[in-house]
Amino acid sequence: MLYDIRLRITYDYDRPAAEGRQLLRLLPVDLPDLQRVQSSALKVDPTPAERAEFRDFFGNRVVQVALTGGHAMTRFEAVARVERTAGRPVPATAPALYALVAEIAAMRGLDAMQPHHFRNPSPRIGAVTEITAYTAKAAKPARDVIRAVESVGLALHRDMTFDPKATTVETAPVEAFVQRKGVCQDYAQIMIAGLRGVGIPAGYVSGYLRTVPPPGKPRLEGADAMHAWVMAWCGQAAGWVEFDPTNACFVTDQHITIARGRDYGDVSPVAGILRTSGHQRSSQAVDVIALQEKPASAAP
Amino acid sequence: MDPALSKPAAAPSLLAGYRPFPGVPDEVVDAAGRVRPVWDAFLRHLAAIPAEDLQHRFGRGDQYLRDQGVYLRQYGAEGSTERAWPLSHIPVLIEEAEWETLTAGLIQRADLLERVMTDLYGPGKLVSDGYLPPSLIAGNSEWLRPLVDVVPRGGHFLQFVAFEIGRGPDGCWWVLGDRTQAPSGAGFALENRVATTRTFSDFYAAAHVHRLAGFFRAFRDTMIGLQADPESRVAILTPGLLTDTYFEHAYIARYLGFMLLQGEDLTVSDGQLMVRSVSGLRPVSVLWRRLDAAYADPLELDPASRLGTPGMVSALRQGSVTLVNALGSGVLETRALLAFLPRIARALLGEPLQIPNIATWWCGQAAERAQVTAHPERMVVSPAMSMRQPFEDAVPVDRRGAALAEWLAAEGEGLVAQEAVTLSTTPAHIDGALVPRPMSLRVFLLRTPDGWQAMPGGFARIGRTPDPAAVAMQRGGQAADVWIVSPKPVEATTMLPPASAPYRRPLPGMLPARAADNLFWLGRYVERTEGILRLLRSRNVRMAESGPVATPLIAAMDPLFKAMGVDPAQGIPAGMISTLGAAISTAGQVRDRFSQDGWSALADMDKTARRMAKSVTPGDDAARAVSALLRKLSGFSGLVHENMYRFLGWRFLELGRHHERAMSMAALLATLADPKAPEGALDLAVEVGDSVMTHGRRFAVATARDTVIDLLALDGLNPRAIRFQLDGIKDQVALLPGAMDAGQPSTLSRAVLRIHTQLASEQPETMTTAALLSIQGQIAGLSDLLADSYLH
């Protein structure tokens, strides 16, 4: 599947902003056998005083910009043409949950996709007893790790209510879990906390999801949103398996990956504070346009 | 040990009751009960000092530490408190030959740690080849992912390291912990040395003790040698006033002549780390970091940090700055690493560790767990990832058998077991006698262009009780000097360059904008305190005369007090004390730029004022007390005036003083020289303006509005007059960087000239209350202009 993606994030300030420095993780990466970026570009308005691109530890593309201040508006606009495949099918077999610890121990190395980075609590996803208990219960009947991941994701999808008003980007997993409400970020963070709690290394994936308008309605421009889901390490043979708890499915060629990390902090699209004395408003518009149409339906 | 044997002939009286503990090596007496030769001369000297003289000498050392403002910050349930620096006055003596063997072993260890660091932030082979468990690194909060593959400028991660060492039961040294993040204590070692030499000044001079100054000179030269170019600077980065070692940061910055900066003093511009100075952005290429790495850059490291500099990591990625030590070096302090270093030494260096580290077992592995369960009585257990001092968080193993095995199996990855420490003992002088107390030693190593160099001395911790765990200073341990004694006379080194080098006057240091801001406000607060005190004195003198009834004249002063936030009905008002407190806290921010005498003068005044506030009553009592405080304050002003180097820092202090004095004089005159002011107000104004004598001499008549306005507003020769302040402001502003901008006076200079010209053209009769208030408003505006131009 070939996609044209456009993301526009705009900040408006009541008073001119002070100088600031930000990290932008808005451009997709090539992923072997899964995703290929044909072209991509990031426009920043006003033109930054400094701009440099690098790869972070997890291999994500990061653009660092420094703005000198005095502007009343900042806009980041990322465009990309990405080819995405469905990848390999979800493996039919995987180790049982109790056997995973030995599989992890057999893995040596510190490179980014080693499971060791994803086992422990991370800055934004701490260990939560209630979530671990919930996860253990949901995973118990599963015959192997992959089916455990799926059961947990399905349980969350069943028990949670999608509610954009219930949480913000800073809401801790435990808060969203207690109220059983939230958006894709909350679903993903709760699931990661739970999987880690029961011994499954898990990470956070940010990206886009292709949405299809209701039958007979035109696709509204900018109506899509950024999305987040979960990657879980299911043993040496199966490796990383990605699951989207918001939509109760393993990822497909309808998902496009932007960045991967331990939690939202590692992948946040715009990091760093731009100081301003007044209020600021931000808005986000996302277009994910499939160049070869193929229907599907899902919620972000 | 047989007590009879431990009675050495050298110093019978002193060592008569000195009984080392059985099976524990002692620094002074060997296993056979003989005094080690290195101690002999010192103990003879000590024994010859009469008891009362010894107390007097100890007092001299303590006095030095108090005068220097060396204190210990202690943390308890109710926050932190400061207490006197706990110096154990008896130094620890070590023979030069033994020291050389010891430091050779520590240099090997420093080289090993550099290799480990290079691997952990590079190829990661120690983990992939099985020398280190991956969880120990991947789950480590000090292994900083953004720094992976960032090669330090110059190639070295470690420039300055410290080792905590102790002497084991067999008499050999072992390493208890590695300090690689931002080792503290070198400055305290220097202070311990000075205090101890004050105590034993006559003996020390001829005692062949290696001097410390050469090491610090090498340190300074090495830091300067790491500079990218002569235009860039070396600076020390501190978390600030609230950290327990801030005193040391300020002290060492002063001693080495480096700028002391906080994260907000720095910014990154085009990949280069810059200091925000009053002369604009200036490059810093070497930063001695006393701040934990995670706080250094809120953008790429801990986003909650308020102490860091956004973009610091990007400057490192560009290789434009050397951090001493590299960000991320804290990972080497992980306690569990001690379990793996012996094997890593053989793999990386091809040789065993010359100085072993304390036996450590990481409980994440079954074989190691078995070791621990087999000998629980010899072990203490602590968190595997702990970076804290040895002994600080270790607990004896209180579980046995199956319960222990179960605990270790469940939580082993997060635990290490270590052999319970015994430390050698060294004499401490307690209640008039020498008693053996456990000791550990911190040794400092510097990487110079010629290789690692050890500080010939160190920082000893002495336990207050025989329990080795009690050496921690937070648990009442004491600090002691360490003397490395040579059989031959030692070279007397100083910080001065060798006489053969041609003299070059160094450039005056740069002034960071934040330091300038603090100095400006220090000037203002000190002056404001003085203004309040003068008003208070005049009021209380009048109260003493008129009795408790408030006369119209006394009531006329109320608005002046109100504007300063002071309730004059209090003898020593809380509002005055808080203004003085503000002066002290701004002074505390610039302690590295400020003489110790000046600091002591302020602190002493604060103490006196607080004491007075408890008992002083309004009227005569308060008038006297306030006079005493005024004398103390003029002591401070005199010290500043006589001693402070007349460069940028002094200019900002002067600007603050002039600014505040001009403002308060304008307010005073607008209130008391107003035509509607009550009878006696003009005399009062002259008195508060400290110009009674001058008025008498100049005018030889009673006060009139014209004479008072002339003397206190318009007279450029009266140091209390508004005109005098504006002259001073004009002079200082003209000497600030950027006073002229492309041949034109800067905005600030123009504003100063405008006010100055206006005041110069006034006559007493045109200087109405409205005109005074207008001048006051314009002067107030200068503060904002100054801040915009220099203080951000």
- Do both B698 and B765 map to the same domain? yes
Chain A hits for B139, Cβ within 8 Å: 116, 119-120
Q: What is the mean pLDDT of residues B291-306?
A: 93
pLDDT confidence of residue A273: 66
Helix axis angle, B681-688 relative to B513-546, nearest 10°?
140
At B390, the amino acid letter reads P
ipTM score for this prediction: 0.93
Nearest to A169 by CA among A284, A256, A70: A284
In a domain, B160, yes or no: no
> How close, in Å, is residue A99 to chain B by CA atoms?
16
Say how far apart CA A286 and CA A123 lie, in whole Å.
28
Q: What angle do CA B658, B659, B665 make, to 5 degrees?
A: 85
pLDDT confidence of residue A274: 63
What's the burial of B308, exposed, middle or buried (CB within 10 Å: 0-12/13-18/19+)? buried
DSSP A224-243: B-EEEEEEEE--TTT-EEEE
Query: What is the share, in percent, of chain A residues with pLDDT greater than 90?
Result: 77
Chain A hits for B270, Cβ within 8 Å: 50
Chain A hits for B131, Cβ within 8 Å: none
Query: What is the share, in percent, of chain B residues with pLDDT greater than 70?
Result: 95
Q: Which of A55, A110, A274 to mutate to test the interface with B (most CBs of B within 10 A)?
A: A110
Would you kindly state where each structural domain of chain A is located, as residue ranges? 2-85+268-290, 97-267
Of the candidates A50, A54, A110, the beta carbon closest to that of B127 is on A110
Phi-psi region of B185 (alpha: psi -120 to 50; beta: other; left: phi over 0): left
- Do both B30 and B46 map to the same domain? yes
Q: Mind listing the pLDDT tens digit for each residue in B738-767?
A: 888 888 889 999 999 999 999 999 999 999
Q: Tokens 């963070």 label which residue?
A: A189
Say how far apart CA B357 and CA A164 lie, in whole Å.
55
pLDDT confidence of residue B7: 43
Neighbour count for residue A12 (Cβ, 10 Å): 13
Q: Is the pLDDT of residue A150 over 50?
A: yes
Of the candidates B124, B139, B310, the beta carbon closest to that of A272 is on B310
Q: Mind listing the pLDDT tens digit for each residue in B304-327?
A: 888 999 999 999 999 999 999 999
- Do both B671 and B791 map to the same domain? yes
Chain B hits for A19, Cβ within 8 Å: 267
Chain A hits for B128, Cβ within 8 Å: 108-110
pLDDT confidence of residue B497: 59
* DSSP code, position A223: B
Task: Test A22 with B130 for CB contact under 8 angstroms.
Answer: no
pLDDT confidence of residue B503: 58
> How close, in Å, is residue B362 to chain A by CA atoms?
15
Q: Mind listing the pLDDT tens digit for each residue in A225-249?
A: 889 999 999 999 999 999 999 999 9
Nearest to A67 by CA among A87, A95, A39, A46: A46
Domain span at residue B673 reads 645-792
In a domain, B733, yes or no: yes
Q: Is B678 on the interface with A (CB under 8 A)?
A: no
> How close, in Å, is residue B138 to chain A by CA atoms?
5
Say how far apart CA B759 and CA B727 lie, in whole Å.
10
Q: Is the pLDDT of residue B529 over 80?
A: yes
Say how far apart CA B545 and CA B204 lie, in whole Å.
61
B70 band by pLDDT with thresholds 50, 70 and 90? confident
B494 band by pLDDT with thresholds 50, 70 and 90? low
Task: Test A21 with B268 for CB contact under 8 angstroms.
Answer: yes
pLDDT confidence of residue B791: 85
User: How many helices and strands, by DSSP H and E, does chain A display?
Assistant: 6, 15
- Do both B701 and B784 map to the same domain? yes
- Do both B629 and B698 map to the same domain? no
Task: Test A265 with B303 for CB contact under 8 angstroms.
Answer: yes
Neighbour count for residue B597 (Cβ, 10 Å): 13
Say how far apart CA B586 and CA B524 lie, in whole Å.
10
- Do both B706 and B633 map to the same domain? no
Q: How many domains does chain B have?
A: 4
Which is more confident, B392 or B721?
A: B721
Structure tokens at B227: 């500079």
The CATH class for the domain spanning A97-267 reads alpha beta
Q: Which of A108, A117, A196, A260 to mutate to test the interface with B (most CBs of B within 10 A)?
A: A108
pLDDT confidence of residue B1: 39
Q: What is the mean pLDDT of residues B604-625?
A: 93
- Do both B599 and B542 map to the same domain? yes
Say how far apart CA B724 and CA A143 lie, in whole Å.
89
pLDDT confidence of residue A292: 67
Provide CATH code, domain A2-85+268-290. 2.60.40.2250
Q: What is the mean pLDDT of residues A21-43?
A: 95
Q: Tokens 């809120």 label which residue?
A: B298
pLDDT confidence of residue B505: 56
Q: Is the pLDDT of residue B5 over 50?
A: no
Q: What is the mean pLDDT of residues A49-59?
A: 95
Instruction: Report helix, strand and coil shares of chain B as percent, to nearest 5.
Output: 50, 15, 35
Phi, psi of B679 (to 5 degrees): -60, 140
Of the candidates A56, A108, A123, the beta carbon closest to that of B127 is on A108
Q: What is the mean pLDDT of residues B596-618?
A: 90
In a domain, B651, yes or no: yes
Phi-psi region of B779 (alpha: psi -120 to 50; beta: other; left: phi over 0): alpha
- Do both B613 and B524 map to the same domain? yes
Q: Mind listing the pLDDT tens digit for each residue in B154-185?
A: 899 999 999 999 998 889 999 999 999 999 99
B662 band by pLDDT with thresholds 50, 70 and 90? very high
Q: Mind listing the pLDDT tens digit for each residue in A61-95?
A: 999 999 988 888 999 999 999 999 988 899 999 99
pLDDT confidence of residue B344: 98
* Nearest-10 Cα torsion for B25, B28, B29, B35: 160
At B396, the amino acid letter reads P
Residues sharing a CB contact under 8 Å with residue B789, sequence separation 6 or more, in sequence order: B738, B746, B747, B748
Chain A: which residues have CB within 8 Å of chain B?
Answer: 19-23, 50, 52, 54, 56-58, 64, 66, 107-111, 114, 116-117, 119-120, 123, 265, 271-272
Task: Test B124 with A272 for CB contact under 8 angstroms.
Answer: no
Contact between B147 and B317 (Cβ < 8 Å)? no
Q: What is the mean pLDDT of residues A266-292?
A: 83
Q: Is the pLDDT of residue A299 over 90?
A: no
Q: What is the mean pLDDT of residues B547-557?
A: 86
Buried residues in A152-186 as b, exposed as e (16+ CB within 10 A) = bbebbbeebebeeebbeeebbbbebbeeebbbbbb
pLDDT confidence of residue B4: 40
For residue B658, give the H/E element and its range: helix B648-672
User: Would A2-85+268-290 and A97-267 be classified into the same CATH topology?
Assistant: no
B500 band by pLDDT with thresholds 50, 70 and 90? low
Which is more confident, B646 or A154?
A: A154
Q: Tokens 């000497």 label which residue?
A: B735
Say how far apart CA B46 and CA B456 lie, in whole Å.
23
B3 band by pLDDT with thresholds 50, 70 and 90? very low
Of the candidate ranges A9-18, B200-209, B326-335, B673-682, the one whose mean pLDDT is the lowest:
A9-18
Q: Tokens 């100049």 label which residue?
A: B698
- Do both B703 and B676 map to the same domain? yes
Q: Which residues of B, range 292-311, sit inside 8 Å of A by Cβ?
A: 298-300, 302-303, 310-311
Task: Test A271 with B128 for CB contact under 8 angstroms.
Answer: no
Phi, psi of B175 (to 5 degrees): -90, 130
Neighbour count for residue B351 (Cβ, 10 Å): 10
Q: What angle do CA A128, A132, A134 make, to 5 degrees?
A: 120
- Do both B706 and B754 map to the same domain? yes
Q: Mind listing the pLDDT tens digit for each residue in B254-276?
A: 888 899 999 999 999 999 999 99
Q: Which of B121, B127, B365 to mutate to test the interface with A (most CBs of A within 10 A)?
A: B127
In a domain, B546, yes or no: yes
The CB-side HSE value for B654 (13 A sphere, CA atoms) comes to: 24
- For residue B92, CA distances in Å to A76, B26, B424, B716 come to 63, 11, 11, 61
Q: What is the mean pLDDT of residues B383-397?
A: 81
Say how far apart CA A115 and CA B135 lie, in whole Å.
10
Contact between B458 and B173 (Cβ < 8 Å)? no
Neighbour count for residue B367 (Cβ, 10 Å): 7
The CB-side HSE value for B501 (13 A sphere, CA atoms) comes to: 6
- Do both B653 and B792 map to the same domain? yes
Helix axis angle, B648-672 relative to B681-688, nearest 10°?
170
Q: What pairing do the DSSP bridges indicate for beta strands B280-289 and B322-324?
A: parallel
* DSSP code, position A274: B
Q: Is B433 on the interface with A (CB under 8 A)?
A: no
Task: Test A111 with B124 for CB contact under 8 angstroms.
Answer: yes
Of the candidates A64, A110, A123, the beta carbon closest to that of B137 is on A110
Chain B hits for A109, Cβ within 8 Å: 124, 127-128, 134
- Do both B640 and B744 map to the same domain? no
Chain A hits for B317, Cβ within 8 Å: 54
Domain boundary among B84, B102, B126: B84
Of the candidates A22, A50, A110, the beta carbon closest to that of B138 is on A110
In a domain, B74, yes or no: yes
- Choose the most confident range, by mean pLDDT, from A133-137, B375-379, B692-696, B733-737: A133-137
Say how far apart CA B231 and CA B152 lie, in whole Å.
20
In a domain, B30, yes or no: yes
In a domain, B109, yes or no: no
Contact between B679 and B739 (Cβ < 8 Å)? no
Task: Test B314 with A52 for CB contact under 8 angstroms.
Answer: yes
* DSSP code, position B384: T
In a domain, B747, yes or no: yes
Of the candidate ranges A44-58, A220-234, B249-263, the one whose mean pLDDT is the lowest:
A220-234
> How close, in Å, is residue A4 to chain B by CA atoms?
30
> How close, in Å, is residue B288 to chain A by CA atoms?
24
Q: Is B141 on the interface with A (CB under 8 A)?
A: no
Chain A hits for B117, Cβ within 8 Å: none
Say how far apart CA B190 and CA B203 lie, in whole Å.
18
Instruction: Report helix, strand and coil shares of chain A as percent, to nearest 5.
Output: 20, 35, 45
Say how far apart CA A84 and CA B276 lie, in whole Å.
48
Query: H/E/C letters for each residue in B624-645?
Result: HHHHHHHHHHHHHHHHHHHHCC
Q: Is the pLDDT of residue B438 over 70?
A: yes
pLDDT confidence of residue A276: 64
pLDDT confidence of residue A148: 97
Q: Is the pLDDT of residue B589 over 90?
A: no
Q: Is the pLDDT of residue B451 over 60?
A: yes
Measured between its terminal Cα atoms, the distance across chain A in Å is 19
B490 band by pLDDT with thresholds 50, 70 and 90? confident
Is the N-terminal amide bond of B325 cis, ω within 30° of 0? Answer: yes
Task: Test B311 with A114 for CB contact under 8 angstroms.
Answer: no
Say how far apart CA B43 and CA B90 lie, in whole Å.
10
Buried residues in A51-86 as b, exposed as e (16+ CB within 10 A) = eeeeebbbebbbbbbbbeeebeebebbbbbbbbbee
